[in-house]
Structure 1
Amino acid sequence: MMKLFWSSRSPFARKVMVLAHELSLGDQLTLIRVAVGSILLDENLMKHNPLNRIPTLIFDDGSALFDSRAICDYLVQFADTHELTCADHASRIADERRQSLGDGIMEQSVLTLGERKRPVQQFSPAHEAAYRLKTARTLDLLEGEAEQLVALTGVTIGSVAIAVALSHLDFRFNEENWRGTRPRLSDWHASMTERSSMKLTAFVEA
């Protein structure tokens, strides 16, 4: 049984959990809830991951694997399946790009939340605006490529990353209404949220 340092609020941890459920590995992971941040340190986590980041996967021998991308790659290998991987080289490269875009949206969201938690005298409107602009531009790109997402055969790591990133925007930045000008991406995301893997791993403020 593997252990996963995790939070119900972390998009990167949710990406791992969605993938685990898609691979029928959800029951192979024992979740260890932890709260961390740029200055919020958890000593137990840091014994395994000195970077103080989640998700962190712990094996039976005590060794650890991080970050979400590495953990997802490992889970696919552990499951010994090709169901979530693309068949040819060009498709795999395209899906790596999709995962990078999804991860990038998550990163900008986390940076925005961190910026908003700063004391008023340290808050930087310029930084926040830059983070939100990068997210908006990425969403516009994905709207233009929505048909490629729809055309995917089954679920891939890249599509999971994008779906989780969009769900995190709903969770943390719902007032920004990212769906308003991106109907095709919104429709694709709505279909992804109907998957049991997404329902079982919904974000929770806890």
Structure 2
Amino acid sequence: MRLYHAAASPFVRKVMVLLHETGAVDRVTLVPASGNPLNPGTLPVDRNPLGKIPALEREDGPTLYDSRVICRYLDDTLGAGLYPPAPRLWDTLVLEATADGISDAAVLMRYEEHVRPAASQSPEWVEAQWTKIDRALSAIEDRWTSHLAGPLDMGQIALGVALGYLDFRQPQRDWRGARPALTAWWGEFAQRPAMVATQPVQA
């Protein structure tokens, strides 16, 4: 399998954390890819018409894209059990979707501030994205603490990656604030070997 990869992408990192947690990193060849909506660069537009990464090229079928699709495929292929049976499955999927939404909003903030021409940037739009992130983090603090204390699943991995991306790209924002449970959880989760191994470095 070949994974189109950029270490700074939270969605790529989510896949990489899964591979590290399952000891399957050596089963995937990493293919560097970079670009943005204004310049696709080396993004695999021939394999993912949306021009996004991650994209997982398989020998036995078409290329998979969208991190949730790829993670479900790898979880099934590797028998990892990171998507537990129902009823816990639904909590895992909602937490994963919420965490991915945080990552998506943070990526849009990054694009607005560093890709769009300065004259076209909208600080109000950036703050609207942050409002979504802030609201989602508060919901997780209020509703998901018990789930975070349970067995490792893809909801937890997606959340860990999202929080790591906030620290990586928005270090001036205080997401911790009045969220002691989430802050404590992140302090421990960030030390997992799979998270340390996939930590992006500022270019």
Scaled to the shorter chain, the TM-score interval is over 0.9
SS of 1:175's equivalent? Answer: coil
Given residue 185 of structure 2, which amino acid in structure 1 is its aligned partner? Answer: W
Match of 2:24 in 1: 25
Paired residue type of 1:90:
P
Amino acid at match of 2:110: L
Distance 1:44 1:160 in 2: 24
Q: Name the counterpart of 1:63.
A: 62
TM-score (structure 2 length as normaliser) = 0.93
Show the counterpart of 2:91: 94
**Partner residue, 1:180:** 177
Change (3 A) 1:92 1:44: closer
Structure 2, unmatched stretches of 5+, are none
The alignment partner of 2:159 has SS state of: helix
Alpha-carbon RMSD across the aligned residues, in angstroms, is 1.6
Q: Is the 8 A contact 1:149 1:188 kept in 2?
A: no
Hey, what does 1:203 align to over in structure 2? 200
1:149 CA drift (Å): 3.5
Distance (whole Å) between structure 1 residues aligned to residue 174 and residue 127 of structure 2: 16
Match of 2:134 in 1: 136
**Aligned residues of 2:43 and 2:51 also touching (Cα < 8 A):** no
Distance 1:101 1:18, change over 3 A: same
Distance 1:62 1:92, change over 3 A: closer
Aligned counterparts of 1:190 and 1:3: Cα–Cα separation in 2: 32
How big is each residue's C-alpha offset from its partner over 1:43-80, in whole Å with a ceiling of 9 and x where there is no partner? 56122112110000011357311010000000011102
Tell me how far apart the structure 1 counterparts of residues 55 and 8 of structure 2 sit (CA, whole Å): 15
Between the aligned partners of 1:157 and 1:125, the Cα distance in structure 2 is 33
Distance 1:62 1:91, change over 3 A: closer
- Which residue of 174, 187, 192 maps to 2:189? 192
Please list every run of at least 4 consecutive aligned residues from structure 1 whose deviation after the TM superposition is greater than 2 angstroms: 60-63
Alpha-carbon distance in 2 for matches of 1:36, 1:125 = 23
CA distance in 1, matches of 2:161, 2:122: 27
- SS of the aligned residue for 1:45 comes to coil
Other structure's SS at 1:128 match: helix
* Residue ranges of structure 1 left out of the alignment (5+ in a row): none
* Equivalent pair of 2:34/2:42 in contact (CA under 8 Å): no
TM-superposed CA distance for 1:125, in Å, is 1.9
| Percent of matched pairs sharing the same residue | 35
What is the match of residue 126 of structure 1? 124
Q: Determine the C-alpha separation between the residues in 2 that align with 1:59 and 1:37.
A: 24
Query: Judging changes above 3 Å, is the alpha-carbon distance between structure 1 residues 69 and 133 closer, same or farther for their aligned structure 2 residues?
Result: same
Provide the C-alpha distance between the structure 2 equivalents of 1:62 and 1:151, rounded to a whole number of angstroms: 37
Of structures 1 and 2, the one scoring higher in RCO (CA 8 A, sep 6+) is: 1
Aligned residue identity for 2:170: F
Deviates most, 68-77 or 174-183: 174-183
